[in-house]
Each structure stands twice: as C-alpha cells, then as structure tokens.
Amino acid sequence: MAITYMTQEGYDKKMAELAHLENVERPEVVRAIVEARDKGDLSENAEYDAAKERQGMLEAKIAELKTLIASARIIDESKISTDEVQLLTKVTIRNLKNKAQMTYTIVTETEANLREGKISISTPIAKGLLGHKVGEKVEVQAPAGKMKFEILKIEV
C-alpha cells in the first residue's frame, strides 16, 4: 500500500466525505433498491438496475476512500520552511510574458483543487518551482510551451 501524504485539512475533508457516503448516501441507495424491488418483476425493472448500479459505484468509492485514509500520513505543517518552494508552501509568481500574477499552494495530488488555488506537486508548474527561492526566475515546460515565472513570495 502506497503512503499518501496529506494536510490535516485534507484528511479531515476525506473523513467527512466518507462519513457522508456511509451515513447519508448509502441509506438512500438502500431505500431506492427496496422501493424498486417492491414494484415487482426485477427482470424488467430499470429502477432496480439503476439503484443496484449506483450502489456498486458508491461501495467502490467508499472502499477507495477507506484505502486512501488508511494509507494517509499527516504532514506537520509547523515544520515547513519558506526558504524555498516546497510541498504545502503558498507561492506567488509573476508570468514574465504577460505580467499576470498568480498564487498557488503546492499540495499532494489528492488535495489539488484549482478553484481553491491548490495545485498538485506533480504538475509542470509545481515541479518547475520546487526548490527555488524568492527573486529567482524559473522556466517551466508546460503543455502550452515554455513559460517563465518570477517567484515573488513564499509563505505557509
């Protein structure tokens, strides 16, 4: 089993998602199966088939979450340095071509969420920034081509 590194926040979100699936969605699926079964002939009952399929997908998601949680290791955020870009640092960069400024938090793959400004450590931009310091100019090979950034700020 591979170890998955997470922040406490990420771990708590996965635990809440698991609790929701087990305590809210699972009983709803069971109710839907019972209702569909009560309608008679199961061989021609599309509602029953759909509910059983939903149950299978739900149970697979629950199993996947349990595996992820079991392999999780919480990262101690108090030990993170802001000397250079690393996992869990928030980095503000400027695109040297168009002068656009962006701020990203470098997170593990399981916590990446672009809407929240969290990018996976395995993305080209994150890989290109890792290990660099404030003031450095970094060239990143992205799918759109080479991009140049200046690191403006690193914080936790």
Average pLDDT, rounded, for the chain: 91
Strand partners for 5: 73
Q: Closest Cα partner for 93 from 49, 135, 44, 42? A: 135
Give residue 44's pLDDT.
Answer: 76
Considering the domain 4-74 in this protein, what is its CATH number? 1.10.287.180
pLDDT at 139: 94
Contacts of 67 (CB under 8 A, 6+ apart): 1
- For domain 78-155, give its CATH number from 2.160.10.10, 3.30.1330.10, 3.10.50.30, 3.40.50.1220: 3.10.50.30
pTM of the entire predicted model: 0.69
Q: Which parts of the chain have pLDDT scores under 70? A: 1
pLDDT value of residue 1: 61
Helix-then-strand count for the chain, H and E: 4, 7
Can you list the positions of beta strands (E) in 108-144? Answer: 118-120, 137-142
Helix (H, G, I), strand (E, B) or coil at 98: coil
